[in-house]
Amino acid sequence: MEKQEILRWLRTTGEDRLSRLWQMADQARRRHVGQDVHLRGLIEISNHCSRRCGYCGLNVHNSSIGRYRMTDDEIVACAHQASALGYGTVVMQAGEDPGIGKQWMHDLIRRIKRETDLAVTLSLGERPDEELCSWFDAGADRYLLRFETSRRSLYDSIHPPLAGTMSDRIALLRRLKLFGYEIGSGVMIGIPGQTYDDLATDILLFKELDLDMIGVGPFIPHQATPLGRPDQVAYAVPAEQVPNSEEMTYKVIALSRLLCLRANIPSTTALATINSESGRELGLSRGANVVMPNVTPGAYRALYEIYPSKACVDETAADFGSGLVRRIRSMGRTIGRGRGDSPNLSGRKSRTSEVLP
Ligand code: 5AD
pLDDT tier for residue 315 given thresholds of 50, 70 and 90: confident
- d(CA 51, CA 96) in angstroms, rounded, equals 7
Please say whether the beta carbons of 195 and 157 come within 8 A: no
Summarize pLDDT for 195-214 with one digit per residue, the tens.
Answer: 999 999 999 999 999 999 99
Q: Which domains can be identified in the chain, with CATH numbers?
A: 3-351 (3.20.20.70)
187 Cα–ligand 1 center, Å? 8
Summarize pLDDT for 240-271 with one digit per residue, the tens.
Answer: 999 999 999 999 999 999 999 999 999 998 89
Chain center to CA of 139 = 20
Tell whether the torsion through CA atoms of 225, 47, 52 and 140 is positive or negative. negative
Please say whether the beta carbons of 150 and 170 come within 8 A: yes
Which of the pair, 308 or 254, is modelled with greater confidence? 254
What is the predicted pLDDT for the residue at 357?
A: 43
Pocket lined around ligand 1, Cβ cut-off 6 Å: 55-56, 146, 148, 188, 217, 219-220, 222, 270, 306-307
| Pocket mutation for ligand 1, best pick of 122, 169, 188 (most atoms within 8 Å of C-beta) | 188
List residues forming the annotated binding site for (3R)-3-methyl-D-ornithine.
123, 169
307 Cα–ligand 1 center, Å? 7
Summarize pLDDT for 334-356 with one digit per residue, the tens.
Answer: 999 889 998 876 656 544 444 44
Mean pLDDT of 99-127: 98
219 Cα–ligand 1 center, Å? 7
Summarize pLDDT for 229-238 with one digit per residue, the tens.
Answer: 988 899 999 9
Summarize pLDDT for 131-155 with one digit per residue, the tens.
Answer: 999 999 999 999 999 999 999 999 9
What is the predicted pLDDT for the residue at 352?
A: 45
Please say whether the beta carbons of 31 and 282 come within 8 A: no
Summarize pLDDT for 69-94 with one digit per residue, the tens.
Answer: 999 999 999 999 999 999 999 999 99
- d(CA 328, CA 336) in angstroms, rounded, equals 11
- d(CA 309, CA 181) in angstroms, rounded, equals 32
pLDDT tier for residue 183 given thresholds of 50, 70 and 90: very high
Summarize pLDDT for 42-70 with one digit per residue, the tens.
Answer: 999 999 999 999 999 999 999 999 999 99
Q: Which of 39, 246, 51, 72 is nearest to 162 (CA)?
A: 51
Mean pLDDT of 117-141: 98
Q: Which of 341, 344, 346 is nearest to 120 (CA)?
A: 341
What is the predicted pLDDT for the residue at 219?
A: 96
User: Does pLDDT of 34 surpass 50?
Assistant: yes
- d(CA 51, CA 263) in angstroms, rounded, equals 29
193 Cα–ligand 1 center, Å? 16
Three-state DSSP class for residue 345:
coil
Per-residue DSSP letter, 79 = H
Q: Which of 187, 188, 183 is nearest to 172 (CA)?
A: 183
Please say whether the beta carbons of 44 and 94 come within 8 A: yes
Chain center to CA of 82 = 18
What is the predicted pLDDT for the residue at 351?
A: 43
User: Does pLDDT of 25 surpass 80?
Assistant: yes
- d(CA 26, CA 284) in angstroms, rounded, equals 8
Please say whether the beta carbons of 296 and 77 come within 8 A: no
